[in-house]
Structure 1
Amino acid sequence: RVGRGIKMTEAGKLLFDKGKFIMQQFDDVYNEIFELKGVKRGVITIGGLLEDLTYLTPYIMKFQQHYPNIVVKIIESEVAVNQIVDKNIDFGITRSAQIPDTLTNTLLYSEELVLVIPKNHPLNEKS
């Protein structure tokens, strides 16, 4: 916060820039797949953990603007990889590192987790 306004931190700027990049990647993938297949209508089913699927909301909304005759179904599933193998979903969003050789995966983003503690906390002691 700067004065009465708000100033984006360096981390915020990085997240914003990476977010724009990820959105563009999703747009490109959607467009390439549907142009390649000439799909004009149908159903796409996406599976994954709810907290991961929430990242897709803006992309799904934009996709549906471009392809109003394609229904996007969201399935909450802890086993998205198995659901793809069993052909219950078209693709999944997962944190699983165990992907069968019969599937392809693409890293969408990586995130850094940090521990936030008071300065006087015992874990803050420098070793």
Structure 2
Amino acid sequence: MDLRALRYFVETVRHSSFTHAAEHLCVTQSTVSKMVRQLEEEIGQPLLIREGRGVRLTDAGKIVFERGQEALGVVRSLTQDVADLSGLVRGEVTVGIPPMVNLFFPPLIKRFKERYPQIKFHAQEAGGQVIEQRVLAGELEVGVTVLPVPADSGLTSTELGRFPICLVGTPASSWFRVAQPTLATLDQEPLLMFSEDYALTKRLRTGFIQAGVEPVIVAQSGQWDFLLSMAMAGLGTALMPEPLLKRLRLPADVVIRPLCEPEVSWRVGQVWVPERHMSHAARAWLAVCAEGSALPLF
């Protein structure tokens, strides 16, 4: 079986699109389509149902997708094992980093590259939940997300920093005169939140359930500047991590209050699968991150 065809098939399923898979793989759409057809011919039955611009798995496709991820993970581990014969003289590591967090990682990456100049470092950007899935699937050895991860997720984690989540709005916000707002304070308040694929959103939704609050979400986006502009226009309350707000120059009339519930704080950490083989390069990255306190980096 052609591993490249298998990889193209897996990426097509993950992106639910030949076009998006081609963009991710840096090849033409026709190349991806051809390789998937080749795989289907080799398997002897269709793997995908083409629906407009999207695709859907057949029963056979579900099996090939699941086993294909495992096979590609084995090949990656094999490549890493061979590279590890050279110790840390050569090698590479890819770390998944969410877009809301990546601004704070250059100092760590710089320290790592100075320590191990021959190791190639790659940063792969995606939402925290997507990164967790890619780590579990073996696409990534290590990734950054918002903690905690579920106890039964199959992932282990280490915390890099813990910070308050802040409410951002205007003097017209219902919580303007509340000195120590909680999630209960936001009951019936129009909210502006990050998209559902952000781990922070998942954590906040869990917090709302625990607080017995039904959130009124008027807008969601992966763009923090859009959410802030909505908040500054008085269209709702944005929930943002404190370190992000400290890096921005906000107008004087913007109101910011830390959410006084430590259990729903913004906890940034790294995750990996503990039972899986980890390359020397990935272990070196974790070791560099663990040196001293990571808090000043955020």
Question: In the alignment, what sits opposite 1:107?
Answer: 159
Partner AA of 2:145 in structure 1 = T
The CA distance in 2 between the partners of 1:73 and 1:67, in whole Å, is: 13
SS at match of 1:106: strand
* CA 117–41 in structure 1, closer or farther in 2 if over 3 Å, else same: same
Taking a change above 3 Å as real, the CA distance of residues 116 and 69 of structure 1, as seen in their structure-2 partners, is same
Residue equivalent to 1:83: 134
Partner Cα distance (1:48, 1:108) in 2: 13
Q: Distance in 2 between matches of 1:126 and 1:50?
A: 31
The answer on 1:123 being equivalent to 2:175 is yes
Residue by residue over 1:69-100, the C-alpha shift from the partner in whole angstroms, topping out at 9 and shown as x without a partner, is 00110101221111111111121110153344
Structure 2 residue 91 is the aligned partner of structure 1 residue 42: yes
Q: 2:113 aligned with 1:61, yes or no? A: no
Question: How many angstroms apart in 2 are the aligned matches of 1:122 and 1:101?
Answer: 38
The size of the alignment, in residue pairs, is 90
Deviates more, 1:99-108 or 1:115-124: 115-124
**Which runs of 5 or more residues in structure 2 are unaligned?**
1-86, 180-298
Aligned to 1:27: none
Q: Quickly say closer, same or farther: Cα 1:96–1:69, change in 2 above 3 A.
A: same
Q: What secondary structure does 1:107 align onto?
A: strand
Q: Secondary structure at the match of 1:110?
A: strand
Distance 1:126 1:55 in 2: 30
Q: Which has the larger radius of gyration?
A: 2
- Which of these residues, 63, 73, 79, is aligned with residue 122 of structure 2? 73
Partner secondary structure for residue 114 of structure 1: strand
How far apart, CA to CA, are the structure 1 residues paired with 2:88 and 2:121?
A: 13
Query: How far off is 1:45 after superposition?
Result: 0.4
Distance 1:56 1:120, change over 3 A: closer
Quote how far apart the aligned CAs of 1:114 are.
3.2
Distance 1:122 1:47, change over 3 A: closer
Whole-angstrom CA distance in 1 between matches of 2:163 and 2:103: 15
Contact 1:53/1:93, CA 8 A, preserved across alignment: no
In the TM superposition, what whole-angstrom CA distance separates every residue of 1:94-127 from its partner, at most 9, and x where no partner exists?
Answer: 0153344532101211111333666786533459
Contact 2:149 2:155 in 1 (8 A): no
Deviation (angstroms), 1:53: 2.3
> Please, what TM-score do these two structures have when normalized by structure 2?
0.27
Structure 1 runs not aligned, ≥5 long: 1-37
Distance 1:116 1:74, change over 3 A: closer
Residue type of the alignment partner of 2:108:
Y
Checking the alignment, whether the CA contact within 8 Å between 2:96 and 2:126 is kept in structure 1 is: yes
